[in-house]
Each structure stands twice: as structure tokens, then as C-alpha cells.
A and B are shown apart, each in its own frame.
Chain A
Amino acid sequence: METVLLILHYAGLFLILLGSVFLFLGALGIYRMPDLYNRLQAGTKASTLGAMSTILGVGLIQPSWFIKLFIIVIFIALANPLSSHALARASYKAGVKPIITSDTDEYAAVADEAGRPKTEKNTQTL
């Protein structure tokens, strides 16, 4: 029993370390990335994984809290990508352009159907 708890403790510490590294990388990505979409991607992916593994690590260190923390992890896994998806979609429809110009814009056809406002800014190649 003692050894199991000890192993869980060290696994939890490792998860917290991993989560901190991912959170740091997310912050670095938000600072270094050039435009909104890259920043959003870096921030969301890294911070989702970082927060989830940090919370799970705390749950492994304190096994009696595990169920509540697991519910929080599920909540983060649901809400975090959803909010960033909504942000990215809203900014695309508001006409925010990515910094790297390329000809492929697969969302444009779908977005026009959904009522994307046709302005001068939007009709340029993204």
C-alpha cells in the first residue's frame, strides 16, 4: 500500500512537471507567434494539455480528491477547445487575416454559406 502511494506520488509530481512545461510552452507560443490564429492554436493546445495534466497530477498525489479533479479535467477538455473554436470562427468572420498568405482557404466556401459578410477585406485572398 505504501509503495503504491509512493509511486502515485511520484507519478503525480511528474505529471505536474509535464503540465508546467506545457503551460510555459503555451505562454511562449502566445508571445512568439505572429498572428491571431497561430497564437490561438498555441495557447489552446498547450494550455489544455498543461492544465489537464497538472490537475490530474494533483489528483494522483491526493487520491481522495481524484473524482472531483477528474470532473474538472472533463470540463476543461469540453470547454477549452470549444471556446477557442468559437473565437477563431468569430475572428475569421470579422475579417481577421492570417499573416502567412496562401491560396488555400477551405473554410471560405462554407463560411460564405453561413452568411459571412462580404467586405473589401474579406474578398482578398487569404
Chain B
Amino acid sequence: MLKKIFVLFLLTVTGVALWQSFRHAPFGENRVGDVENPETVSAFYLKHSPETLHTANSVTAIVVNFRGFDTLGEVTVLFLAATGLASILYRRKEDEEEEGGHLPVRVKLKSSTLVRTGAKILFPLILLLGIYVFVHGHLTPGGGFQGGAIIATGFLLMFITYKRFNVNHKIMVWLESLSGLAFVLIGLYGLVAYGSFLQNIPWTGRLNDLISGGLIPLIYIFIGIKVATELTNVLDTLMNTKPRKK
């Protein structure tokens, strides 16, 4: 009884506090603002991404340039998730040898010749599409995260088609670490040279050129490599985990 009264009291207090704080919030008003009104944030982004940064895709300009520090955080979150998964599913070599070899039980049945040939043809095309998406991140929709995910799906196709398709873990880890490091180094360069972390260089090229937008395409290429290698590592770790013994 006392507990129920206490819960009711707590709910009332929370409700009153929420009502008090949100009473004056202008719900339903257009707070994003007009594109023409120069004082709103969206107008600032839409004006400055083509004019001063010369990036055709203003989403990329926001993600990599105006909010570049948040993107670094996102990449770190992804890195932590991949590391956590690998450390949970980590298995020592001695344990594996005790259980009799460490052949991954990936697929039980062999894929048919058609599927294997088709996957072999499709795999470089998917890689090419992924690379296209993150190289053209500042011109067309897409970017590092999207391109990286597409490349990871290409590796996934090979993982489920071929029994013995293995990625070189050392190269993957090195690529991932180096691209992450390069992102931070670019940020530090901005800090040293222009006084602000991830500050873009003044030379930004022409609008709609492949090499334009200053450091934006470079950063997105590094993000693409990092995301692709991370997701591939996650898939590889999961695929090589043995099923639980019944």
C-alpha cells in the first residue's frame, strides 16, 4: 500500500515537472525555419555547403564538416561494438585444438556451381559499387557509412557462398586502425593549422568536381575503409563461431 502511494507520488512529481518544463515549448511551430530566412541553422547549412565548401551534397557537408566531431564519435561507437563482439566470441587456440581442429562450420552443404560462379562475378562489382558510393560521397547521396556497408555485404556474399573464403585478419585490422588514425590526424591538422579540430582547408575546388570540398572526400574515404573492414570483421567473427553443443 505504502509502495503504491509512493509510486503515485513519484509519478505525480515527474508529471508536474515535465508539464512545467514543457509548458512553454512551442510545439507545432516551424522551428526548422525557412530556407530563405538567414538566421536559421538549416538556411546556414544550405547556403554555406555549396558556396564556401563547394560540396553538392549538403548532408555530407553537415556530417563530415560542420558536425565532423560527432562523426568521429559514431566511428568510435562502431569500433567499440566490433571490439566488444570480438572479445565476447573470442576463443583461445588451445580450446579450439582440444575440440578438434578449428575448421569453421560455416555452411554445411556445398554451394552449386551456378551460385559460386555468379558470386565470383558479382563480388568485384559490389566492391566497385561500394567504392563508388564513398568516393562520390560529396557529390551524390551516400558516403562512407553507406559504401562501407555495401562492401561488407559483398564480403558476406563470399562468406556464405564459399566454405573456405577467408579474409586476412591482420590486413583488415591494420587497415581499420590506420584509417581511424588518419581521420584523427586530419582533425589534428585542422587544429594545428587553423585553430579548430577538423577545420577544413581553405582550398575547396569547384562545385560538382570530383576533387572538391577540401578534406571532405578524403575523410569520407577513410570512414568508408574503416566501416567496411569493421563490418567484415564482425561478420567473419560471427561466421567462424561454432554452434553451441546440444
Contacts and interface: CB of A to CB of B under 8 A. Distances in A.
Contact of A93 (B109, B115, B122, B125): B109
A115 B109 contact: yes
B73 interface: no
B2 interface: no
For chain B, the bracket of interface size reads: 10 to 19
B115 A86 contact: yes
B195 interface: no
B109 A114 contact: yes
Interface residues of A, number: 10
B114 A115 contact: no
B114 A85 contact: yes
10 nearest CB pairs, A to B: A82-B118, A86-B115, A85-B114, A115-B109, A89-B112, A114-B110, A78-B122, A78-B118, A93-B109, A82-B115
A99 interface: no
Interface of A: 75, 78-79, 82, 85-86, 89, 93, 114-115
B121 interface: yes
Interface SS, B side: helix
Contact of B114 (A75, A82, A93, A114): A82
B115 A85 contact: yes
Contact of A79 (B108, B110, B112, B122): B122
Interface SS, A side: helix
B242 to A, nearest CB: 19
A126 to B, nearest CB: 18
B205 to A, nearest CB: 24
A75 B115 contact: no
Interface string B112-144: 101100100110010000000000000000000
B112 A85 contact: yes
Contacts of B109: 93, 114-115
